[in-house]
């Protein structure tokens, strides 16, 4: 996972941009349903795991599923990006501008 994807995922988990909040919530819910049935979900491999994460990429699912231009690490992927690369860059730029204005 790229650093920008990690930042986007955690940012969208903790403080999602207002204009994308509902879309992030919807996308994450759909992806989590898929991930919860995946044998690579930590909860399915390690009973009692405190954090639900993907055992292939090691990403916490709370953040990974909220990154709009991320995809499942499996080949073939069980879910893909919701936005194209251009829109992903626009999201990153918007997050950066929002962070700067809040500083």
Q: Which residues have CB under 8 Å from 62's CB, separation 6+?
A: 13, 51, 52
Range with the poorest average pLDDT among 38-47, 60-69, 70-79: 38-47
Closest CA to 22 of 61, 68, 85: 68
Helix, strand, or coil here: 82?
Answer: coil
| Mean predicted lDDT score pLDDT of the chain | 88
Q: What is the pTM of this model?
A: 0.82
What is the domain range of residue 69? 3-102
Q: Which residues have CB under 8 Å from 5's CB, separation 6+?
A: 67, 69, 70
Q: How confident is the model at residue 91 (pLDDT cuts 50, 70, 90)?
A: confident
Q: How many domains does the chain fold into?
A: 1
Nearest-10 Cα torsion for 79, 85, 91, 94 = 170
Query: What are the tens digits of pLDDT across the range 6-50?
Result: 888 999 999 998 888 999 999 999 999 999 999 999 988 877 778
Range with the poorest average pLDDT among 44-58, 66-80, 81-95: 81-95
Q: Is 6 within 8 Å of 14 (Cβ atoms)?
A: no
């Amino acid at each position: 996972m790229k650093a920008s994807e990690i930042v986007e995922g955690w940012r969208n988990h903790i403080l999602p941009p207002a204009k994308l909040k509902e879309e992030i919530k919807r996308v994450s819910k759909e992806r989590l349903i898929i991930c919860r049935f995946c044998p690579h979900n930590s909860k399915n491999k390690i009973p009692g795991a405190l954090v639900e994460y993907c055992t292939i990429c090691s990403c916490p699912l709370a953040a990974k599923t909220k990154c709009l231009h991320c995809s499942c690490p499996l080949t073939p992927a069980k879910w893909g990006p919701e936005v194209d690369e251009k829109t992903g860059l626009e999201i990153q730029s918007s997050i950066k501008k929002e962070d700067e204005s809040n500083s």
